[in-house]
Structure 1
Amino acid sequence: MNEFKPFDRLDRPARSRPAPDASGEIFDLRGLWLAFRRRLALFFAIAALVLLAIIVVTFQMTPQYTASAQVMLDPRDREVVDLQAVVSGLPPDSAVVDTEVEILRSRALANRVIDELNLMADPEFNPALRDPEGVARAAGAVGGFFGGLFAAISPGGPSRSLSPADEADLHRAETIESLQRALSVRREGLTFVIDVAATSESPQKAAAIANAYADKYLVEQLEAKFDATRTANEWLEGRLADLREEVNAREQAVETYRAEAGLLNAEGETLTERQVADLNAQIILQRADLAEKQARLGAVRNLVSSGGSNQEISEALSSDVIRELRSQRAEVVRRQAELSSRYGERHPEMLKVRRELADIEAEIEREAERIVTSLSNEVDVARQRVASMEGSIGRLRGEMVQNNSELVRLRELERDAEASRALYESFLTRFRQTSEQQSLQEADARIISRASIPAEASAPNLPMNLALGLILALVAGSGAVFVAETFDQGLATKADMERELGLPALALIPGVPRAYASRDNAAGYALDKPLSSYAESLRALRAAVLFGRGHGDVKVVAITSAVPREGKTATSLALGRVSAKLGSRTLVIDADLRRSMLTRTAGLTPRAGLLEVLDGRATLDDAITREQASGLDILPLTGEDRSASDVFGRRDMRELLQAVRERYEFVILDTAPAMAVAETRILSTAVDAVVLLARWRKTPRAVVKAALDALAHVDAPVAGAALTQVNLSAEGRYGYGSGYGGSYYKYYSKYYEN
């Protein structure tokens, strides 16, 4: 899209669109206040409507009564016996208290209360029992439409094709929902106290519901514990029977395997282990005995082999027989000594003693040989006994190795049996404990305050409803203002024009009083009231166009708009009259070929006009008409049929404009809307400047932008834009952002004559 460069067609300094003001605050409190102030009527209307609706609903509401009971979760532990409970007491935990609050709100507990108080037969809670007409009348207090809709969807409305069982379930579900809506359960701060409040149309019923909830909650806790204990006992009993059979089977498997493997034991040891231990002890003794006997035998043999005397041998053998013989020998030797002192060697007594001594020594020799032989035999026997025992213990050790490998499996079976036995004993102990606990259960909560019958209604709360209604009214009114401002697409201030259109804001042209409301009178209002704000705005528009900075030598100006009925013709004619009254030679040309509104507004019936001059059928002097009251020259259009030929694109039109530029100081062309007629865009290329008009707060911004885009495609020298039919007092409510003094109109309005 082409960017506007006003007046570059006439080699004047180019001006681009002013950039939007980026220095504004992100959150403009003053702007918000001004938006609120200019929508004050809408705000009060919506706020009053909402407040009135809430007041009506409040006074139509049925009085409601609220009763509350208080339940406390007891964090203290009471233990009659030192047993662990199946369902332990509630710990003093915040999450646990919140969980109990949800249990109190549960449908299961509501179902118990309904059965306790027979609320299925109460129309207040069972919608199926309500009067459909009464429901419709109650809903009608809010609005007829909603009342009819509520009556149509109420349970008493059109019948639904449900089976009796399904319908009963549906009614119970609706009753539960109604009861839950009437219930309020909350925790008191960070304490263990839970407040249970019920609301009803009847104060007695409200108290009954609150107390029923508290009672049923305690009963539910006890039943939960009883059910848990009973279920645990039943499960434990069945499990004990299975474990008992398992223990018996595994112990039997241990004994069977022990017998098959020969792992019989005594005092914690197997028989093989006992035998090995005994044999080890005996072998030690036998080896010691063998060593002793071998030592004695060796000593004797050493004496014999070394030629030792019988005396030494007998001493080594230490035999009682030998000692006796040695004692006899000593006696014989003593007798021999006595006899030798009395008898000679040949004496018979001496011979007898010698023979007796020889017999004793021979006997000692034989006894020594016998003892040596006996010792040798004993050594052999002892050696054989040791060898036999060593053979036996070797065999037993082989058996013990086999037994040890079989003991691995035996120990595994024993461990299985022991584990089963321990598990069985644990379950048996737990079964006995739970059986005892079944008669010792108590609830984890207690009622500390029962609900009493309320003396006053809790709803409707008139002060609270009014306060809430006031807040909602303020919010709704503010929302309406916000929506209205959001969807307001019109241009209201000079700042809007410069920000949205990127054009200089030339003037704010106010509306005229009702007496001058017609187009003809509006154009004449500037003459009748030359000191009015309307006339002053036209003079400001003229000064902005002719003497604006960077506009250069501007004489020929086209007045156009985006759409019809923007005040374009009245503005063109009034601007020409004001300029003429200022003493400036001014010409207004009716360039709206389709409607020629300026000619009709001025009340002219010319014989020659613009088209006749262009065709050469009349001279410029013949076609121009002068107003005597203002001194304004007007080049009108005749009522002849006009073809769709390109009139403004001809060279004759440009020559005509050059001619009037030389004769007049200010030439104004009243053109057709730029969006509707292509001739306007063509004509805009032949003038010095184009002024785009838009109706204050009426013409959508998008439409004005589209007109500017259409003019930009032909490089029209758009000088700026002006707003028409402006309410200066209302425009002032747009604040300093309205720009150029609009917000201060009340201060300088005394300078105007209205």
Structure 2
Amino acid sequence: MLQLNKPTSEINRDFAEADGSPSQTLTSYLDIIRRQFPTMIAIVSACVILALLYLFTAAPLFTSTAAMVIDTRKVQLFQQQSVLGDIAVDSATIETQVEILKSENISLAVIRDLHLTEDPEFSGSGGGLLGAITGLFSSGHAASEFEQTRRALGRFESSRTIKRLGLTYVMEIGFTSRDPQKAARVANAIADAYIVDQLEAKYQATRRASVWLQDRIKELRTQASAAQKSVVDFKIANNIVDSGGRLMNEQQLAEVNSQLIMAHASTAEAKARMDRINDILKQEIPDASVADALKNDTIVKLRGQYVDMASKESIWAMKYGSDHLAAVNLRRQMAEIKKNIIDELRRIQESYKSDYDIAQTREESIKSSLASVVSESQLTNQAQIQLRELESTAQSYQAMYDNFLQRYMESVQQQSFPITEARVISAATTPLVKSAPKSLIILGAALLGGLLLSFGAAMARELSDKVFRTTGQVEEQLGANCLAILPALGALPPAPASLSSKLGRKKSNPEPDLLRYVVDNPLSRFAEAVRSLKVAIDLNSIVRENRVLAVTSTLPNEGKSTLSTNLAQLIAHGGRG
């Protein structure tokens, strides 16, 4: 390296800017990769070898899936028979069923049904290299039944997958195992265990509801009987009698009111007849039309005789004179008949008066009965307020009793045919292709990871050493401008014959002449670096003339003489001495 005390110039500024350009950065990264290439190849190869070792030693795994759906049509069909209330199938319900499928209750049921605690895949240390390593460090004591069950449960849950397909009512059940047939068998067993669990849950819920309904029905029956007995006792205590859906007092009131109306009419009719007979008795001779209206046979007969005698008396009086004995006898008989008619009318008058008195008495009696019935009805109406409350309570208890009895009958029927909303739409089948490990993915990941790890290791090695490799490092650490970096000189391949002949190099010399290196190898990196120093010296002479050029180093044998001689050779060959 050469450090020159020179001012900042336009050329130096351009050089500094070029040093941090993207192309310079890319070149530095490529240089790092070139220098650390063996280390990177070793790390990538180790990662790929480990991946291949894992692929050769890991046991293949097979995954089988079954599909289950919540049948909403079946839910709607049996909704009206549900004792526990209507079922609404929504997104939350499906997610709940997914969590039920993941529950330990379903997992333990499958483990018990398939005897998975006796399966080495669930009770052993597992297959592959990892399982063998784990088995070496495991203790030799026999595990208890509880420990075997919990170990089998943990591996069962790690191999099982439950998920909902999108926004549908379909749930996908998957299981992964080293045996493809076992994977399909366990996946189908999970679906069957879920359906059985749902049936059992509904049966248990219905049975608990039936037991609760029985107790509630007994209580409601007792309450309904007590309420009805209170209604009957209240009616007896208040003389309230039902007849055809109406109270007896109301019927009596209606009947007595009708009787009073009829009695009032009878009294008016009897009074009219009595008044009429009184008017007839005031006449000297009853009128014929009135006599006929009375419909009395005796009066009609006497009236007929009276009329005949009056006709004869008139004829005889005109023929023999009014003083004739026959006319006088006729008038005497007519007076007797008139007296008899009046007596008969008076007898009828007494009869009509008796009828009128009877009608009045009957009307008064009915009025008294009506007042008594009205008084009793008022008391009954007041008692009916409490009676209606008692009857309402009795009806409520009876309605509740009938409703619970109906629900109890429905629950008894549902215990005989429990219905589940879930059904399997796609049973799990034996998989033909393994699901893990995926060779291409593992190899790709190993290669990518190896590349990243190797590049990181290369960068770490570059940052951890204390060697200056770039001009930027020199300028950053020393705070001085760096014009060029000289490569180390060693044994070089022989130069071409034409170039050697032009430079006059002796072929008999097997080792390169370091003091004439820039002359013998003008296209080498060392020559280019020395040439950069000469260009910087020439540019700096524009500002001020160079008198003395000093080459120094911190340690001996770092190439001060070699650099000075080659620089002098380059200046001399450039025509400046």
Matched, 1:535 2:521: no
Alignment of 1:173-322 (within 5 A): 173-187=150-164, 194-298=171-275, 308-312=283-287, 315=290, 318=294, 320=296, 321-322=298-299
Q: d(CA) in 2 for partners of 1:63 and 1:97?
A: 33
Structure 2, unaligned stretches of length 5 or more?
A: 1-20, 491-525, 558-563, 566-573
Tell whether the 8 Å contact from 2:80 to 2:86 is kept in structure 1 after alignment: no
Q: Report the Cα offset of residue 390 of structure 1.
A: 2.7
Q: d(CA) in 1 for partners of 2:84 and 2:25?
A: 63
Q: Report the Cα offset of residue 54 of structure 1.
A: 4.2
2:302 is matched with 325
Q: d(CA) in 1 for partners of 2:250 and 2:176?
A: 86
TM-score (norm 2): 0.67
Look up the SS of the partner of 2:121 in the other structure: coil
Q: Report the Cα offset of residue 379 of structure 1.
A: 3.8
Tell whether the 8 Å contact from 1:218 to 1:445 is kept in structure 2 after alignment: yes
1:398 to 375, 379, 384: 375
Q: Report the Cα offset of residue 344 of structure 1.
A: 3.9
1:637 is matched with none
TM-score (norm 1): 0.53
Q: Report the Cα offset of residue 496 of structure 1.
A: 13
Q: d(CA) in 2 for partners of 1:312 and 1:32?
A: 158
Q: d(CA) in 2 for partners of 1:120 and 1:234?
A: 37
1:138 to 116, 119, 130: 130
Q: d(CA) in 1 for partners of 2:351 and 2:457?
A: 139
Q: d(CA) in 2 for partners of 1:479 and 1:89?
A: 63
Q: Does the C-alpha gap of structure 1 residues 43 and 599 become closer, same or farther in structure 2, counting only changes over 3 Å?
A: closer
2:438 is matched with 461
Q: d(CA) in 1 for partners of 2:442 and 2:312?
A: 156
Look up the SS of the partner of 2:81 in the other structure: coil
1:121 to 118, 123, 131: 118
Alignment of 1:16-27 (within 5 A): none
Q: d(CA) in 1 for partners of 2:371 and 2:114?
A: 91
Amino acid at match of 1:249: A
Q: Report the Cα offset of residue 268 of structure 1.
A: 1.2
Q: d(CA) in 2 for partners of 1:540 and 1:302?
A: 177
Q: d(CA) in 2 for partners of 1:36 and 1:51?
A: 24
Tell whether the 8 Å contact from 2:317 to 2:323 is kept in structure 1 after alignment: no
Structure 1, unaligned stretches of length 5 or more?
A: 1-27, 141-146, 517-527, 548-581, 589-597, 604-627, 630-750
Q: Report the Cα offset of residue 112 of structure 1.
A: 0.7
Q: d(CA) in 2 for partners of 1:342 and 1:483?
A: 184
1:67 is matched with 64
Look up the SS of the partner of 1:427 in the other structure: helix
1:716 is matched with none
2:522 is matched with none
| Backbone CA RMSD of aligned residues | 5.4
Which of the two has greater strand per residue? 1
Look up the SS of the partner of 1:125 in the other structure: helix
Matched, 1:57 2:32: no
Tell whether the 8 Å contact from 2:313 to 2:331 is kept in structure 1 after alignment: yes
Q: Does the C-alpha gap of structure 1 residues 38 and 246 become closer, same or farther in structure 2, counting only changes over 3 Å?
A: farther
Q: d(CA) in 1 for partners of 2:554 and 2:121?
A: 75
1:419 to 390, 396, 405: 396
Amino acid at match of 2:530: S
Q: Does the C-alpha gap of structure 1 residues 257 and 223 become closer, same or farther in structure 2, counting only changes over 3 Å?
A: same
Q: d(CA) in 2 for partners of 1:485 and 1:279?
A: 127
Q: d(CA) in 2 for partners of 1:268 and 1:365?
A: 57
Q: d(CA) in 2 for partners of 1:540 and 1:248?
A: 127
Tell whether the 8 Å contact from 2:159 to 2:176 is kept in structure 1 after alignment: yes
Tell whether the 8 Å contact from 2:316 to 2:322 is kept in structure 1 after alignment: no
Look up the SS of the partner of 1:391 in the other structure: helix
Q: Report the Cα offset of residue 159 of structure 1.
A: 9.1
Tell whether the 8 Å contact from 1:55 to 1:469 is kept in structure 2 after alignment: no
Q: Deviations over 1:130-166 (max 9, x none)?
A: 49xx99x6279xxxxxx7xx789x8x45999xxx9xx
Q: d(CA) in 2 for partners of 1:385 and 1:415?
A: 42
1:104 is matched with 101
Amino acid at match of 1:105: K
Greater length-normalized contact order (CA 8 Å, ≥ 6 residues apart): 2
Q: d(CA) in 2 for partners of 1:32 and 1:531?
A: 20
Q: Deviations over 1:274-317 (max 9, x none)?
A: 1110011112212222333344445566777xx65542598288
Q: Does the C-alpha gap of structure 1 residues 480 and 186 become closer, same or farther in structure 2, counting only changes over 3 Å?
A: farther
Identity %: 27
Look up the SS of the partner of 1:311 in the other structure: coil
Q: Report the Cα offset of residue 111 of structure 1.
A: 0.1
Q: Report the Cα offset of residue 33 of structure 1.
A: 8.0
Tell whether the 8 Å contact from 2:66 to 2:427 is kept in structure 1 after alignment: yes
2:414 to 423, 431, 437: 437
Tell whether the 8 Å contact from 1:508 to 1:537 is kept in structure 2 after alignment: no
Q: d(CA) in 2 for partners of 1:474 and 1:432?
A: 74
Tell whether the 8 Å contact from 2:484 to 2:529 is kept in structure 1 after alignment: no
Alignment of 1:349-364 (within 5 A): 349-364=326-341
Look up the SS of the partner of 1:63 in the other structure: coil
Q: Report the Cα offset of residue 462 of structure 1.
A: 0.9
